[in-house]
Amino acid sequence: MKVGIIGFGRIGSELSERILKRDWEIPAIARTSGIYKSPGGIKIGQLNNWMEHFQKVDVVCLCITTLDNGEAAYGYIRPLVERGISVVTCEKGALGNYFPELQPWMGNIGYSATVGGGTRLLRWLKERLGPNTKEIHLIVNGTLNYIFDGLSRGRTLDEVVDEAKTLGYAEPEAEEPVELINTEANKDVPSKVSVLLNVCGFGEIRARDIDVKTISESDLKRLVREATFRRYIVSITKEANEEDVIGGFKLSVNDWHISAGFKNRSQNPLFLQLVPPGVNNVVLIYGSDGTYILTGPGAGAVPTVGSMMKDIGNLLNQ
């Protein structure tokens, strides 16, 4: 079995180790400096000619971060699936902004790792949605949950932010805590919510069209003071609700109302069940037929790669 890898950071590196343990072949790895034959192998081409090195693989794993609105990832995914090559991705911008363009090939795209890390919550949620569903509440950003879980335990903001960077839960480029929090809340979460709405059938939306409120320094100081009862929660409900929320966004898709932000957990009894530790994610579905909860690791290379490996297996067994 031949697997190509595009992007060779933490996730690409971890993925290559898992692939080689299966005795699968990695004939091409695309990095910013060029195309390489296997991890640590010789350079075999330039990045601008990447496609010629990926045409004979069975599946391509896209392991790049979302540095734009998904345009770069879309530029990799579309030509591959058009040629009948399956793609497994953890990048969320492409499906968050170019879902209509990619929809004809969704059967050849593994996307479980785009939202929820190792929880595979997209499939879980899609299978449980029905006419009796009234509310869905989620924590889908492991980095923000890690930071606010730490703050609620009495740790300092600088301490938990620096630790999140060191552990690879957050991009190191964000120099100040407020910058990091806005990157996660204003870019990562809208992209994930758009992927979820698109692939789970709520309706089509593009992440770049979501208007998000930026967290200010004064907002951040308040969030630190109120960290024991605030979490960044995404809600998808049949009825619009007034909420005690800092930052975030609101929108409507078909008959659903979507709201997100640093919400006061005490305002909704269901929110009290959204207390995943560390980088974990959680999704709660509430309806007339009961309440269902899924939780698991939502950030980090190991759970993300685990989900991608399962997607590879599912695509090859179709």
Residues 140-199: pLDDT tens digits? 999 999 999 999 999 999 999 999 988 888 866 677 999 999 999 999 999 999 999 999
Please give the CATH topology (third level) of the domain spanning 119-298.
Dihydrodipicolinate Reductase; domain 2 (3.30.360)
Categorize the per-residue pLDDT at 314 as very low, low, confident or very high, splitting at 50, 70 and 90. very high
C-alpha distance across the termini of the chain, in Å? 15
Residue 12 DSSP one-character state? H
Task: List the domain boundaries for the chain.
Answer: 3-110, 119-298
Is 16 within 8 Å of 24 (Cβ atoms)?
A: no
* Token pair recorded at residue 98: 């170019």
Beta strands 133-139 and 280-287: pairing type?
A: antiparallel
In this predicted structure, what is the pLDDT of residue 11? 94
CATH 3.40.50.150 fits 3-110, yes or no: no
In this predicted structure, what is the pLDDT of residue 150? 96
Categorize the per-residue pLDDT at 126 as very low, low, confident or very high, splitting at 50, 70 and 90. very high
Residues in Cβ contact with 168 at an 8 Å cutoff, skipping those fewer than 6 apart? 10, 300, 301
Average pLDDT score over residue span 306-314: 96
Task: Quick: pLDDT tens for 21-57.
Answer: 999 999 999 999 999 998 888 999 999 999 999 999 9
Average pLDDT score over residue span 118-135: 93
Categorize the per-residue pLDDT at 88 as very low, low, confident or very high, splitting at 50, 70 and 90. very high
User: Which pTM was predicted?
Assistant: 0.93
Distance CA 228, CA 162 (A): 20
Tell me whether domains 3-110 and 119-298 share a fold.
no
Distance CA 128, CA 88 (A): 23
Q: With a cut of 70, say whether residue 318 has pLDDT above it.
A: no
Kindly report each contact of residues 240-249 with a partner whose C-beta sits within 8 Å and lies 24 or more positions away, as own/partner. Answer: 241/268, 243/267, 246/215, 246/219, 246/222, 247/185, 247/212, 247/213, 247/214, 247/215, 247/219, 248/185, 248/212, 248/213, 249/190, 249/210, 249/211, 249/212, 249/213
- State the residue for tokens 């990799």: 76
Residues in Cβ contact with 250 at an 8 Å cutoff, skipping those fewer than 6 apart? 257, 258, 259, 260
